[in-house]
Amino acid sequence: MTQDSIRVGIIGAGANTRDRHIPGLQAIDGVEIVAVCNRSQASGERVAERFGIERVCTNWQDIVDAPDIDAVVIGTWPYMHCLATVAALEADKHVMCEARMAMNATEAHRMYDTLRDHPHLVAQIVPSPFSLRVDRTIQRLIRDGWLGDVLVVDIHAGGAFIDKDNTMHWRHNMDFSGLNVMTMGIWYEAMLRWVGEATSVVAKGKTFTPMRLDEEGRLMGVRIPDHIDIVADLACGGQAHIQVSNVTGFGEPPSATIYGSEGTLRFSEDVLSGGRRGDDGLSEIDVPDDEAGGWRVEEEFISAIRGQEEITHTDFETGVKYMEFTEAVYLSRRSGAAVDLPLI
Task: Give pLDDT tens digits for 62-91.
Answer: 999 999 999 999 999 999 999 999 999 999
d(CA 112, CA 121): 12
**pLDDT for the residue 2:** 47
pLDDT band at 215 (very low <50, low <70, confident <90, very high): confident
Q: What is the number of alpha carbons within 13 Å of residue 17 lying toward its C-beta?
A: 27
* Three-state SS at 343: coil
Domain containing 99 — which CATH number? 3.40.50.720
* Helix or strand holding residue 64 (H, E): helix 60-65
- Do both 221 and 331 map to the same domain? yes
pLDDT band at 3 (very low <50, low <70, confident <90, very high): low
d(CA 106, CA 320): 9
Contact between 271 and 284 (Cβ < 8 Å): yes
Alpha helices in the chain (DSSP H): 15-16, 22-26, 41-51, 60-65, 81-90, 105-116, 135-143, 174-177, 184-195, 297-305, 316-335
Report whether pLDDT(1) > 60: no
pLDDT digits (tens, 9 = 90+) for 14-26: 999 999 999 999 9
- Do both 151 and 271 map to the same domain? yes
User: Is position 248 within any domain?
Assistant: yes
Task: Provide, rounded to the nearest whole percent, the portion of the chain with pLDDT above 90.
Answer: 97
- Do both 156 and 84 map to the same domain? no
Backbone angles phi, psi at 105, to 5 degrees: -70, -35
- Do both 92 and 195 map to the same domain? no
**pLDDT for the residue 4:** 79
d(CA 155, CA 286): 21
Cα 184 to chain centroid distance, Å, stands at 9
The reported pTM is 0.96
- Do both 140 and 273 map to the same domain? yes
pLDDT digits (tens, 9 = 90+) for 161-196: 999 988 999 999 999 999 999 999 999 999 999 999
User: Is position 194 within any domain?
Assistant: yes
Nearest C-alpha neighbor of 102 from the set 93, 115, 91 = 115
What is the number of helices (H) and of strands (E) in the chain?
A: 11, 17
Nearest C-alpha neighbor of 179 from the set 334, 44, 66, 296 = 334
What torsion do the CA atoms of 326, 329, 330, 332 make, to the nearest 10 degrees? 160
* Three-state SS at 307: coil
- Do both 215 and 73 map to the same domain? no
- Do both 201 and 332 map to the same domain? yes
Hey, how many other C-beta atoms are within 10 angstroms of the C-beta on 231?
17
Mean predicted confidence (pLDDT) in 303-331? 98
- Do both 40 and 182 map to the same domain? no
d(CA 11, CA 180): 21
- Do both 90 and 206 map to the same domain? no
User: Is position 31 within any domain?
Assistant: yes
- Number of structural domains the chain divides into: 2
**pLDDT for the residue 62:** 98
User: Is position 318 within any domain?
Assistant: no
- Do both 47 and 155 map to the same domain? no
User: Is position 1 within any domain?
Assistant: no
Mean predicted confidence (pLDDT) in 250-261? 97
- Do both 285 and 227 map to the same domain? yes
Task: Share the mean pLDDT of the chain.
Answer: 97
Residues β-bridged to residue 203 = 230
- Do both 170 and 247 map to the same domain? yes
In which domain, by residue range, is 139 found? 135-293+323-340
